[in-house]
Structure 1
Amino acid sequence: MKRNLRYTALLLFMLSTVYASAQSLRKLMEMPPRIIESKWEQTSDGGTELNYYNEDLCSYYLFRENDRSYNLNPGKNTVFRIEKGSNASNPFIGSSRYMFFRGQFPKDFQISTPYALPVKAGEETQWQIALQESAKTMIFRIQEGDTVYATRRGVACVTALPQQLLIYHPDHTFAAYLMMHQNFIHAGEEVMTGQPIGIAGVLGVSVSYFFLDNNKFNSNGPLGYPYSHFTPVFRTDKGDVKLEEKAVYKSAIDDELIMLEMTKREKKKFQKQKYSK
């Protein structure tokens, strides 16, 4: 009887944790409060410009209904300028419904880009579908308390909860790491493929890969949830493969994978640091 009660309690805990993971993913993609500020400012030559200041280290998409929309990179973004003495019309005088979304539409998205498994090189793991978000979240089996590793290079975005980690990749895709017990990474930090990023929770780690999808917008705004999720190819001891659910794979994080998106200068620095140890 006690054994059945313990099993039932564990099952309920697992389902509630997965549900929390699904809910926190949506919450994670909301724009943090006061992260973007708009200002009309004077230019040095007497003109006026509208600037958006993005205090996050990830890009945002400013959608303006029935009007031009803008990508907001980290820092200052000048979206409109009026030269001194100009009679040019100002489209920002009239009211327009607008919304902010994390990310930009990918330009060079390749589904064949290899990712690392979220475990140490040489270690094994397997994954299963998250019940509440079957097409969106992969739960990797990692022992509670073990280290979680970054599956791809990117920069950490601002998040509301310390255990959450949202990585923005060079091609404007995201990886969200949820259900971790501890997160080692701070907002704005550059993360390398295979870098330790946190400690696994009781169910391991839940990872979701997605991007802001241009096909989910029209002139009136987003058509529901504006992100599309995908399952990447992972580098394993069996090569670069699309993982089968519940099959066991061994991580194969190598120098080629780590340096995949580095510049020539970064590759040279990485190799120098590695062989100087």
Structure 2
Amino acid sequence: MNGRNILFIMLLCILTTNTQKTTAQALKALMARQTGIIEGKAEQNSRKETCCNFYNNDWCDYYLCCRNDKAYNLHPGKNTLFVAPDKSKIYNPAKEEFQYRYYRGIFPKKFNIETPYALPVKNGVRTAWRTDRHETKKTLCFKIEKEDTVYATRGGILCKIPSSRFILIYHPDHTFAAYIGIRDKFVKPGDDVRTGQAIGIAGQDNISISFFFLDKNKFEASADMGYPYSHFVPTFRTDRGDVRPVERKFYRVVTDDALIMQDMSKKEQKKYLKHK
């Protein structure tokens, strides 16, 4: 980034708040940008240098994409993108046309479609999925009774979202799982959850989940940078092994210790086994 862009960057990220939909295309509304999540500020450090700081007020990573400049990964908290020396002349580029946008997530480096997930119902119970026809993006609608408990399909951290009817979990490999149709939640944004943990109560018959990630290929292939996410059907651990389940076919849930601990550090694994 050069000095021509620093002041303009401080003014970007003026957003509009979208009303959360609870019917068709709920996932699209869920991923809408929220006011105040990303904040850009021009601040001075102890050496009186002007810093371009971006504050990520969420618990997941974000990708800041500058059409006429560079792109940056924004981790939770303070991110210093550029430092201008004291008394340097910084041109205000606001008279020129620049476009900056940000998106949830960053490009996965170690995404593996074979990584096993848990099915979202109680261990030992049978369930099946079908495609949710209300969503324009690939979303799996799992068989579950209203008021049954919903379980995390994979461990991660809860993101901030604009509706109480959804849960969004950010996984260690930078993929997401969006749970649609939650009534009562047992978790809140910022909580770390583990695979198979109870996270809420189904507010309707069946529970819809979409698994997705920020796709670098979609950025490179689309000049207007439209919807840059790819959705997928994970591999699930079942009584028939780790399989990519066939639509409308029933499988029995197997949420074992190996699955629960797969994303844990050795220290976390030791603590889990000690207290299980």
- Give the shorter-chain TM-score range: 0.7 to 0.9
Aligned to 1:137: 139
Aligned to 2:45: 43
Aligned to 1:66: 68
Map Cα deviations across residues 175-213 of structure 1 (whole Å, 9 max, x no partner): 000012222221111111000011113222100000111
Q: Distance in 2 between matches of 1:221 and 1:38?
A: 25
Match of 1:150 among 130, 149, 152: 152
Aligned to 1:100: 102
Q: Distance in 2 between matches of 1:199 and 1:74?
A: 28
Aligned to 2:260: 258
Give 1:84 shift.
2.6
* Ranges of 4+ aligned residues in structure 1 off by more than 3 Å: 19-22, 85-95, 132-135, 218-223
Q: Distance in 2 between matches of 1:43 and 1:135?
A: 44
One-letter code of the match for 2:30?
L
Q: Distance in 2 between matches of 1:136 and 1:21?
A: 15
Map Cα deviations across residues 91-123 of structure 1 (whole Å, 9 max, x no partner): 899652111111111111000000000011111
Q: Distance in 2 between matches of 1:212 and 1:250?
A: 30
Aligned to 2:238: 236
* Aligned residues with identical type, % of pairs: 50
Aligned to 1:79: 81
Mapping of residues 178-257 of structure 1, within 5 Å: 178-218=180-220, 221-257=223-259
> Any conservation in 2 of the 1:136–1:208 contact (CA below 8 Å)?
yes
> Any conservation in 2 of the 1:180–1:204 contact (CA below 8 Å)?
no
> Any conservation in 1 of the 2:25–2:136 contact (CA below 8 Å)?
no
Change (3 A) 1:157 1:174: same
Equivalent position SS for 1:44: coil
Q: Distance in 2 between matches of 1:259 and 1:220?
A: 38
Q: How many residues align?
A: 256
Change (3 A) 1:223 1:53: closer
Q: Distance in 1 between matches of 2:35 and 2:253?
A: 38
One-letter code of the match for 2:29?
K
Q: Distance in 1 between matches of 2:96 and 2:272?
A: 51
Aligned to 1:160: 162
Change (3 A) 1:98 1:115: same
One-letter code of the match for 1:146?
D
> Any conservation in 2 of the 1:116–1:193 contact (CA below 8 Å)?
yes
For structure 2, list consecutive stretches of 5 or more residues without a partner in the other structure: 1-20
Q: Distance in 2 between matches of 1:24 and 1:129?
A: 14
2:112 is the counterpart of 1:115: no
> Any conservation in 2 of the 1:21–1:179 contact (CA below 8 Å)?
no
> Any conservation in 1 of the 2:63–2:73 contact (CA below 8 Å)?
yes
Map Cα deviations across residues 197-236 of structure 1 (whole Å, 9 max, x no partner): 1111322210000011111114985443211000000000
Change (3 A) 1:216 1:107: same
Change (3 A) 1:240 1:134: farther
> Any conservation in 1 of the 2:25–2:135 contact (CA below 8 Å)?
no
